[in-house]
Amino acid sequence: MPAPEPVRLIAVDIDGTLLDAASRLPAANRQAIHAAVARGIDVVLATGRAFHHARPIAERLAAPVTLIVNNGALVKTPDGETLARRAVPRDLAGSLIAATRSVRDGAALIFDRPDDRQYVYERIDWSHPQRQWYYDRNRVHMTKVEPLETALDDDPVQVAFTGGVADMRALAGRVRALPSAGDLTVTLTEYEQRDFSLLDVTAKGCSKGAALEDWAARRGVPPAGIMAVGDNLNDLDMLELAGHPVVMGNAVAALKRRGWPLTAGHDEAGLARAIRERAL
């Protein structure tokens, strides 16, 4: 049997993988990533976060990394250069907002731009305990516009919704039943213990895995040379792509059932352990 392809690129989810439960960056994770970079291994942070929310993590990491953000809609450098982009046509985004207005409290449009209109929203209750911290940290990038359709002066990279797990599952079903659903990608990220879910709608074919596959090809790395580490539903296709998939100990049950190698949880620096054992 031939030897497995060595790890040449590591794709790391942020929340629940790189960061612990308190959103801290464990020193062991930082050290392991620095060691991988020193070995010549490319490191990619692949996240559902928007760029303005992911960039501070890259800065804390203080290592040369590439960012896949908005669940694969954008590939960027930490200083903001866009390397790849998959946007939702504005007319399609407008029809989605109109079609969901009666069944949700608010929505947001996320754009690839550096100013306070990077995140445009309407009628979102920011006093909700699962949302307030996000607003407090990121409001300099955010603008309220009502109705939201008036903000569609460019193609957004993402239409975003947040709410309880059951509500977002129901909303996802409504979106998938729309006539335009074939031109969209619907991604759920769930935190059942907190009864909180993120529903992201991006362009057709857009995902962490698709963006990672394209970026790795540009770097000359085959899927067999990719290590991917994640914990949630939006990590599934990048784990399926990677020749070296690793699931966090705190991962959702749907990932654990796939039989991939399991590492320790995010509060035990499971990422660092996986990197040491499988890449270094």
CATH number of the domain where residue 102 is located: 3.30.1240.10
Same domain? For 124 and 196 the reply is yes
Q: Which domain holds residue 232?
A: 9-85+207-278
Structure tokens at 228: 């991917």
Q: Give the separation between CA 191 and CA 14, rounded to whole angstroms.
A: 14
Whose tokens are 């669940």? That residue is 71
Same domain? For 194 and 109 the reply is yes
Section 18-43 average pLDDT: 97
Handedness of CA 163, 167, 169, 173 (dihedral sign): negative
Section 116-140 average pLDDT: 90
Q: Which of 22, 11, 8 is nearest to 265 (CA)?
A: 22
Count of domains observed in the chain: 2
Return the number of other C-beta atoms located less than 10 Å from residue 7's C-beta: 22
The answer to whether 251 and 230 are in contact (CB under 8 A) is yes
Least confident of 27-31, 83-87, 192-196, 231-235: 192-196
**Which residues on adjacent β-strands are paired with residue 110?**
119, 158
Tell me if 4 is assigned to some domain.
no
Q: Give the separation between CA 54 and CA 251, rounded to whole angstroms.
A: 20
Sheet with 82-85, strands from edge to edge, namely 82-85, 74-76, 66-69, 42-46, 9-12, 226-230, 244-247
Q: Give the separation between CA 142 and CA 127, rounded to whole angstroms.
A: 15
Per the prediction, the chain carries an average pLDDT of: 94
HSE, CB side, 13 Å, CA atoms: give it for residue 15. 16
Indicate the pLDDT class of residue 150, thresholds 50, 70 and 90: very high
Predicted TM-score of the model (pTM): 0.91
State residue 123's pLDDT score. Answer: 85
Same domain? For 154 and 180 the reply is yes
Which one of 203, 233, 248 terminates a domain? 203
Same domain? For 39 and 176 the reply is no
State residue 62's pLDDT score. Answer: 95
The answer to whether 8 and 41 are in contact (CB under 8 A) is yes
Indicate the pLDDT class of residue 3, thresholds 50, 70 and 90: low
The answer to whether 206 and 249 are in contact (CB under 8 A) is no
Decide if pLDDT at 31 tops 80: yes
Tell me if 45 is assigned to some domain.
yes
Indicate the pLDDT class of residue 191, thresholds 50, 70 and 90: confident
State residue 1's pLDDT score. Answer: 52
Which one of 181, 203, 225 terminates a domain? 203
Structure tokens at 261: 């190698």
Tell me if 2 is assigned to some domain.
no
CATH of the domain at 44: 3.40.50.1000
Q: Give the separation between CA 278 and CA 280, rounded to whole angstroms.
A: 6
Q: What residue ranges in 135-232 does DSSP mark as E strands? A: 142-144, 158-163, 184-191, 196-203, 226-230
